[in-house]
Structure 1
Amino acid sequence: MSTQEQADNLAFIQIQTLLKNSPAVILASIFSAIMLTAIYWDQHPHVYLLSWLSMILSINIVRGFFAWKFLHEDKPMEHTLLWWRMFSLPSLVSVAVWGLGAFVFYIPNGGQYQAVGIIIPLALAAGSLVFLSIVHWLFVSSFLLITLPLLLRVFLVGDFVHISIGLLIGVYISIFMIFGHNMNRMLTESLRLRFENLELVSRLTEEKESAELANVAKSKFLAAASHDLRQPLHALSLLSSALCDRIKYPEVKHIVDKIMLAVSALENLFNALLDISKLDSGVLKPSIISFKLGDIFKKIENDYRPEADRKGLKFNVDSCHDAVVYSDNILLERVVRNFVSNALRYTETGHVRLFCEMENGKIKIVVEDTGIGIRDDNLQTIFDEYVQIGNPERDREKGLGLGLAIVARISQLLNHPVHVKSARGEGSIFSIAVPLGRQEDIPEPEADIVRTPGMELTQLKVLIIDDERSNLDALDALLRGWKCEVISAESGEEACDKIRALQLKPDCVLTDYRLRNNKTGLEAISDIVALTGENVPAVLITGDVAIKKLHEEGADAYHLMHKPVQPARLRALLKHIQQQKLRQELEEQEA
């Protein structure tokens, strides 16, 4: 807001305040004039009193009309200068007439009439301090137009008593001038602060709206990243895995293995960056439940035991089978996995221990190692993005430096405090405190995927549906390399047409969740079930990592996987489905 704009706003606020308060002041002026006329009715000629009263009434009627017109004006701010004139001129005339009355009607040595002649004008003048002090020059003018004629009249009498009264009136005038100046300064400063606050609120509102728009844009980007950017990465992962299965020559297989490592690193980087963006933007919402902590510990021990054995480290994992916590099991597992992964990465000799303990009514999950440790000045920076200890060459095999940044954000999201104790060369202790859960609130466990090594997927008829041709071709190549019988389709309608043409029933359906024309994989599965007349095992594949569980009707009967799909996990799932099929066939033969 410019200086001129602030001055214009101040002028409008002043005139608005004065005109809104005018009705009370006008009534007080008229009432005081009528009372003064009644008191002096037998002391002065009636024509003088009535003439003076008529002037007071006429002027205040004009003031009242202007106040009423202002209050009913549509856009009064556009005519601020005009309103100033319409207010100030009648107001100054009114106080001048009061000053004339104080001069003319004063009765020296008149006892009670003398007191009335002094008290009423001075009281009206004192009232102007409250009413007019918002405009300093108007207050000074009005106050002096009432009091100076009275002061002059008192001094004109000339005796000692009146000179004394005049001096007292002079002191009264001086004090009120000081009060008026101070009050005007206080009110003006208050208005200035009000304008500054309004401007600040306006700027904050604009910045808030700008931040909200940026957040919406970021959310749209995340949605695109979750789906569109994952599509080629998903296809690349499937194709590289299919190529790896087909390569027999060691020298070529070595190159393919390098490609697989590069793809894996790309997936890790992409997932880490996307996770940080989702946590920062608030897109990722926790799903808080009660669950057994031992389930997470078992999975982590199973996944990281080979790495610990390879490095010759003791990897001690407590069972914590009785511990029930209340948290998001997926996000909490992500935190603990990061602690264990870092501990194994930075420990060359000694041990890594994962355990839990009670502390202050919570379960504290602790990962302790005998690794390289962290200096005190690095204990806070390790939770920043791309910060790594002991990896100046940025070796990707040692991670990306995003793990603890994600941990810090998950900790804040879940309100689970994270603590770290470490000393250089003495190892580190990372811990996270989690609220206790209740045994009776633990949900029913989902069926585990049985990982049976060595079993081929021969004669397993798999129907795949994906509207992205590159993903469809990649998945087709991968499944055929696993000896599956593959039927591929780009939509649910095409899949049904192929089932009719080939006259076969698929053993399993792999479908993308979002298909073209606003169709979903669930709708395609429903059409296939209706066509075959039997329930078919199905896997829904989605690029939205924010989806942990589909809440649509019938979705609980199917498996959910996120892009980019890990081929090993997909193969294990298909083996599980094949086992169920074989078990069902044996049961039917025995029956």
Structure 2
Amino acid sequence: MAAVRAAGPQAPREEVHQRLLELLAEQSRRVPVGVGVLMVVVAWMASRVMPPWIPAVWLLAALAILMVRREWLGKLPRQTELPTPVRVRTAIRLSLLNGTTHGLSLAAFPLLPDIERPFFTLLLLGLSTGAVGTTAGHRKIYLAYALPAAGTLPIWWAIHPNSPIGWYGLALALLIVLYLWVLYGLAHNAWHNFTDSVNMRFLDRERAAQLTEALAQANQANQAKTRFLAAASHDLRQPLHTIGLLVAALSLRPIEGRDREVVDLLSQVTVALSEQLDQLLDISKLDAGVVAPDKKMVDLAEMLRMHHAEMRAAIEEKGLRAVIDVQGSVRCWTDPALVLRVLRNLTENAIKFTPQGHVALRMRVEGGDACISVEDTGRGIPPAEQAMVFEEFYQVDNPERDRSKGLGLGLSIVKRLCGLLGVTLQLHSTEGQGTRVTMRLPLDTFGAAATVVPEPAHNWSFAGVTVLVIDDERSVRMGMRVLLEELGCRFVEACSVEEATREAIATKPDVILADMRLRNGETGITAISSVTSAVGATPALLISGDTAPDRLQEANRAGIKLLHKPVALPMLQAELARMLGDKVQP
């Protein structure tokens, strides 16, 4: 126990005494019945050798004190307005009063028959023994009871021997003294055990508080990270969106030769940067809890063959062999889009870190699960780093932060998506030989399989469509104007809720494209609501560079679809066609 006391902080003295008072209050509710019965026995024995009224008065006094003690001890733990030492002193006085009353019964000792004196002695010593536990061995409280209750027993035995043999009474007196000394030692140990238990509970509570605080700090740090990512993503997306709009507008023009190469290169750079920002967006979406799996019955074999066909060109372009090992038709109840996203991240990661050999996609059925593996013959991952590769921004052997190697978010997104899908993820890697990442999906053999088919390309005409663009960034509005006019749209712009409502009343737009966050605390949601209230229901789309989780949740609650800047031209065309319906010609 001493080691426990030295291992951590000690409970304050006030807390130890508060726990003691609570123990005394609890024991005071249990003790009166048993002690009361013993007092009745003592009074009955005394009434046989002295006038009965004397034991009767003593019994009434003992029982009254027992009940008063019970009432007072029951209140002491709750009387926190009183200083703790004052409440402890009250408990000591009550213990002294109780012990003195019990000790007064010894007045009948000289009058008892020889055979009843040992029984009488055992009763008082038994009460003193029980007091070790009921007082937790607190020295002053225990002695306040034991000394007046049984402390004079050795004297009574010494001066009133129980037999003609003189040493018999003296021997019993000595044995009682030794027994009381043993009881005092037991009380001393009981008090140390009690304080140790309080200290252990105090230490546990302190550690729990520290863990709670550490968890709160970790949550705050995670929220701060998410806010930073969202802010950085927003600030980068705004100019990138403008660049993307202008590049898309240029790509629609009939230019050739060197100019076309420049436009294509600008488009590739914009797409690459957009993909990296999309990874930040994915993290924010998962943190916000707005990604909900859309599960359906999927033919995994067909989906994997489609994924292999999509990634084959990228694998072979690096000089690697593209291997697929998929047998038969295996059905599973899952979200095909999210599973494909996981497979795409794993495959792209395998291609990136495999200089030669192959990248293989395999599937087998094992124990009621479909085991889908992405395997490569790359450099592998050192054992010490295998547990860290699924953490955000962690990359093996990229201290210089080479942007061509990505941001280190791909596997972190994989881990979160697998958690969302209830999919088990396993990593096996040997340094210098390669890596295999396996997904285990529970199988379901019932239902029709849903074929995953890529979206076909369309060429829509938006001639004559009036589009109201609400954005507080002038450069974004200019870029949207150039692109939409290239598409044949009539362009109307606004930078605030009031201006958007006024322009909508004047032009009656066919569709609204609004930024999520405007100036002066206004939002695109508010602007869309104001416009629809003024001119009636109008198809609307939010376009934002803000990836903060609360913004994502806000758009989700409003029921308005949200695209994130920069928006690729095919996606913008597809969304316009979806909202306009019969007003556009494919």
User: Residues 146-161 of structure 1: matches in 2 within 5 Å?
Assistant: 146-158=149-161, 159-161=166-168
Shift of 1:442: 6.4
Residue matched to 2:295: 289
Residue matched to 2:198: 191
User: Residues 181-580 of structure 1: matches in 2 within 5 Å?
Assistant: 181-212=188-219, 230-242=237-249, 259-276=266-283, 279=286, 281=287, 283=289, 285-290=291-296, 291-293=298-300, 296-297=303-304, 300-301=307-308, 303-308=310-315, 310-311=317-318, 313-316=320-323, 322-347=329-354, 351-371=358-378, 379-388=386-395, 394-423=401-430, 426-437=433-444, 440=447, 449-452=455-458, 457=461, 459=463, 461=465, 463-470=467-474, 471-480=476-485, 482-490=486-494, 506=510, 510=513, 516=522, 519=525, 541=543, 561-571=563-573
CA deviations over 1:93-128 (Å, ceiling 9, x no partner)? 4423533532x3223782444344323322322332
Structure 2 distance, partners of 1:500, 1:58, is 90
CA deviations over 1:373-404 (Å, ceiling 9, x no partner)? 55666555544444555767654334333322
Q: Which moved more, 1:84-93 or 1:258-267?
A: 258-267
Helix, strand or coil at the partner of 1:106? helix
Helix, strand or coil at the partner of 1:78? coil
Q: Which moved more, 1:220-229 or 1:115-124?
A: 220-229
Helix, strand or coil at the partner of 2:124? helix
Structure 2 distance, partners of 1:57, 1:369, is 86
Q: Are the aligned partners of 1:125 and 1:142 in contact in 2 as well (CA < 8 Å)? A: yes
Structure 1 distance, partners of 2:504, 2:160, is 122
Structure 2 distance, partners of 1:316, 1:571, is 36
Change (3 A) 1:38 1:527: closer
Change (3 A) 1:77 1:426: same
Change (3 A) 1:200 1:498: closer
Residue matched to 2:5: none
Structure 1 distance, partners of 2:114, 2:465, is 120
Residue matched to 2:125: 122
Output the amino acid matched with 1:197. D
Structure 2 distance, partners of 1:38, 1:297, is 94
Shift of 1:337: 0.7
Q: Are the aligned partners of 2:365 and 2:371 in contact in 1 as well (CA < 8 Å)? A: yes
TM-score scaled to structure 1, two decimals? 0.76
Output the amino acid matched with 1:239. L
Output the amino acid matched with 1:137. K
**Structure 1: segments with no counterpart, 5+ residues:** 585-591
Q: Are the aligned partners of 2:302 and 2:329 in contact in 1 as well (CA < 8 Å)? A: no
Residue matched to 2:96: 92
Shift of 1:335: 1.6
Structure 1 distance, partners of 2:386, 2:241, is 37
Structure 1 distance, partners of 2:72, 2:317, is 94
Helix, strand or coil at the partner of 1:44? coil
Structure 2 distance, partners of 1:573, 1:41, is 103
Structure 1 distance, partners of 2:581, 2:285, is 38
Structure 2 distance, partners of 1:410, 1:342, is 16
Change (3 A) 1:402 1:96: same
Change (3 A) 1:299 1:179: same
Shift of 1:54: 7.6
Shift of 1:235: 2.9
Structure 1 distance, partners of 2:11, 2:435, is 61
Q: Are the aligned partners of 1:420 and 1:429 in contact in 2 as well (CA < 8 Å)? A: yes
Structure 2 distance, partners of 1:65, 1:548, is 57
Change (3 A) 1:151 1:285: farther
Change (3 A) 1:398 1:57: closer
Q: Which moved more, 1:194-203 or 1:5-14?
A: 194-203
Q: Are the aligned partners of 1:450 and 1:572 in contact in 2 as well (CA < 8 Å)? A: no
Residue matched to 1:17: 23
Q: Are the aligned partners of 1:464 and 1:472 in contact in 2 as well (CA < 8 Å)? A: no
Output the amino acid matched with 1:14. L
Change (3 A) 1:287 1:577: closer
Output the amino acid matched with 1:145. P
Q: Are the aligned partners of 1:525 and 1:538 in contact in 2 as well (CA < 8 Å)? A: no
Output the amino acid matched with 1:84. V
Change (3 A) 1:154 1:377: closer
Q: Are the aligned partners of 1:95 and 1:145 in contact in 2 as well (CA < 8 Å)? A: yes
Change (3 A) 1:435 1:472: farther
Change (3 A) 1:208 1:311: closer
Q: Which moved more, 1:244-253 or 1:426-435?
A: 244-253
Change (3 A) 1:475 1:77: same
Structure 2 distance, partners of 1:94, 1:576, is 89
Output the amino acid matched with 1:186. N
Change (3 A) 1:297 1:570: farther
Output the amino acid matched with 1:80. T
How many residue pairs get matched? 567
Structure 2 distance, partners of 1:538, 1:550, is 12
Structure 2 distance, partners of 1:483, 1:68, is 85
Helix, strand or coil at the partner of 2:206? helix
Q: Are the aligned partners of 1:23 and 1:67 in contact in 2 as well (CA < 8 Å)? A: no
Structure 2 distance, partners of 1:468, 1:496, is 15
Q: Are the aligned partners of 2:350 and 2:375 in contact in 1 as well (CA < 8 Å)? A: yes
Residue matched to 1:589: none
TM-score scaled to structure 2, two decimals? 0.76
Q: Are the aligned partners of 2:514 and 2:524 in contact in 1 as well (CA < 8 Å)? A: no
Helix, strand or coil at the partner of 1:107? helix
Shift of 1:328: 3.4
Shift of 1:544: 6.8
Structure 1 distance, partners of 2:60, 2:581, is 110
Change (3 A) 1:319 1:485: farther
Among candidates 12, 27, 44, match of residue 6 of structure 1: 12
Residue matched to 1:588: none
**Structure 2: segments with no counterpart, 5+ residues:** 1-7
Structure 2 distance, partners of 1:195, 1:429, is 48
Change (3 A) 1:176 1:495: closer
* Identity rate, percent: 28
Structure 1 distance, partners of 2:202, 2:402, is 56
Structure 1 distance, partners of 2:29, 2:384, is 70
Structure 2 distance, partners of 1:31, 1:425, is 84
Change (3 A) 1:132 1:401: closer
Shift of 1:154: 1.0
CA deviations over 1:282-313 (Å, ceiling 9, x no partner)? 63544151234367546645653443454455
Q: Are the aligned partners of 1:289 and 1:442 in contact in 2 as well (CA < 8 Å)? A: no
Higher relative contact order (Cα pairs below 8 Å, separated by 6+ residues): 2
Helix, strand or coil at the partner of 2:19? helix
1:135 aligns with 2:142: no
Q: Are the aligned partners of 1:451 and 1:572 in contact in 2 as well (CA < 8 Å)? A: no
Change (3 A) 1:331 1:521: farther
Output the amino acid matched with 2:189. N
